């Protein structure tokens, strides 16, 4: 039986129909990742896949044929990266369509820039992502872990035991290292939020929505 990379190459080159099932399976697996749930819930799978196939396979067929004609070892990773780039673009388009106008609690339409100072955000997408990070991290971390996060970010602006007043320096160090190396690393790998989104979360939401409630 031919290797997956061989079947993928032959399908893209137009002479092995079995390769499509492999590509579609990789596409579906990527779409199932948490960061693409907004796409999965609001877009039809077949429509998404058809758009990807036309944009990233048909139009790039010659590139695939030339790039992997002699050595096909990197074709799967290249395909996966292509799928992620496509889904990221589609997610961005969907967010732009849905955030131009936000409804407040009384269902009155308000422009997002009426509620967010222009000087504090780079663009609408960063704000939406930062807000999502705030919600997700409160679900992902325990209250004690959130206190450690507050300590890491704001101790230099307050005191060295900020939010962890009852712990020794040794205990604080151990909790900080455990949070950084285990839970925060896992959170980042699961949700794959952008650097700008995290930075805005720290600047705008961490203190106001989490630390003020837990540490003051």
> pLDDT tens digits, residue range 182-213?
898 888 888 777 777 888 888 889 999 999 89
3-state secondary structure of 103: strand
- Give the Cα separation of 150 and 56 in Å (integer): 43
| 124/165 same-domain check | yes
Q: What's the confidence (pLDDT) of residue 111?
A: 45
Sequence-separated (6 or more) residues with CB below 8 Å from residue 17: 11
Question: How far apart are alpha carbons 164 and 145 in whole angstroms?
Answer: 11
Highest mean pLDDT: which range of 7-21, 78-92, 119-133: 78-92
Q: Are residues 148 and 193 in the same domain?
A: yes
Mention every residue, 6+ apart, whose C-beta is less than 8 A from residue 49.
24, 27
Paired tokens of 162 = 């900020």
Residue 43 to residue 53: CA distance in whole angstroms:
15
Phi, psi of 109 (to 5 degrees): -80, 130
Residue 71 lies in a domain: yes
Q: What percent of the chain has pLDDT over 90?
A: 22
Could you give phi then psi for residue 44, rounded to 5 degrees? -75, 135
Strand partners, 101: 111
Is 108 domain-assigned? no
**190 CB-near residues (< 8 Å, 6+ apart):** 34
Residues 122 and 209 placed together within one structural domain of the fold = yes
For 116-167, what is each residue's pLDDT tens digit?
Answer: 444 443 456 777 888 889 999 999 999 999 999 999 888 877 677 889 988 8
Please report the pLDDT score of residue 118 as a whole number.
42
Instruction: Mark whether 10 and 89 lie in a shared domain.
Output: yes
Q: How many other CB atoms are there within 10 angstroms of residue 172's CB atom?
A: 20
125 lies in some domain:
yes
Q: What is the Cα–Cα distance from 126 to 71, expressed in whole angstroms?
A: 40
Higher-confidence residue: 114 or 143? 143
Residues 93 and 27 in one domain: yes
- The total number of residues shown for the chain amounts to 216
In this prediction, residue 100 carries a pLDDT of 43
* Mean pLDDT, rounded, for 60-79: 86
- Give the number of domains in the chain: 2
- Does the residue 149 lie in any domain? yes
Tell me the range of 38-47, 109-118, 139-148 where mean pLDDT is highest.
139-148
94 and 123 assigned to the same domain: no
Same domain, 149 and 88: no
Distances (CA, A) of 38 to 44, 91, 135, 195: 11, 7, 15, 20
Residue at a domain's end among 72, 99, 126: 99
* 146 and 61 assigned to the same domain: no
Task: Establish if 110 belongs to a structural domain.
Answer: no
pLDDT score, position 33: 86
- Domain interval for residue 196: 116-215
The answer to whether residue 69 scores a pLDDT higher than 60 is: yes
As a whole number, mean pLDDT of residues 34-38 equals: 81
Asked whether residue 10 falls in the same domain as residue 39, the answer is yes
Average pLDDT, the chain: 80
Residue 148 makes CB contacts below 8 A (sequence gap 6+) with: 163, 164, 175, 176, 179
Q: Do both 121 and 185 map to the same domain?
A: yes
Q: How far apart are CA 9 and CA 121, in angstroms?
A: 43
Q: Give yes or no: residues 67 and 35 share one domain.
A: yes
Are residue 88 and residue 133 in the same domain, yes or no? no
106 phi and psi angles, rounded to 5 deg = -95, 10
104 domain residue, yes or no? no
CB-based contacts of 138: which residues, under 8 Å, 6+ apart? 146, 209, 210
């Amino acid at each position: 039986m031919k290797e997956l990379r061989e079947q993928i190459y032959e399908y893209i080159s137009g002479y092995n129909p079995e390769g499509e099932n492999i590509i579609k399976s990789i596409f579906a697996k990527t779409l199932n990742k948490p960061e693409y749930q907004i796409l999965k819930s609001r877009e039809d799978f077949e429509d998404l896949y058809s758009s990807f196939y036309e944009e990233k396979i048909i139009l790039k067929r010659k590139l695939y044929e030339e790039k992997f004609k002699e050595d096909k070892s990197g074709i799967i990773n290249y395909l996966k990266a292509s799928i992620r780039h496509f889904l990221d673009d589609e997610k961005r388009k969907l967010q732009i369509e849905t955030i131009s106008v936000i409804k407040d609690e009384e269902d009155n339409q308000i422009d997002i820039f009426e509620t967010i100072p222009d000087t504090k955000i780079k663009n609408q997408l960063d704000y939406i992502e930062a807000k999502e990070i705030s919600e997700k991290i409160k679900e992902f971390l325990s209250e004690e872990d959130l206190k450690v996060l507050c300590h890491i970010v704001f101790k230099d602006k307050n005191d060295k035991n900020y939010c962890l007043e009852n712990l020794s320096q040794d205990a604080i160090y151990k909790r900080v290292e455990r949070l950084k190396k285990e839970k925060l690393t896992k959170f980042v790998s699961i949700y794959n939020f952008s650097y700008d989104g995290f930075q805005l979360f720290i600047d705008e939401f961490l203190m106001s929505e989490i630390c003020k409630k837990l540490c003051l």
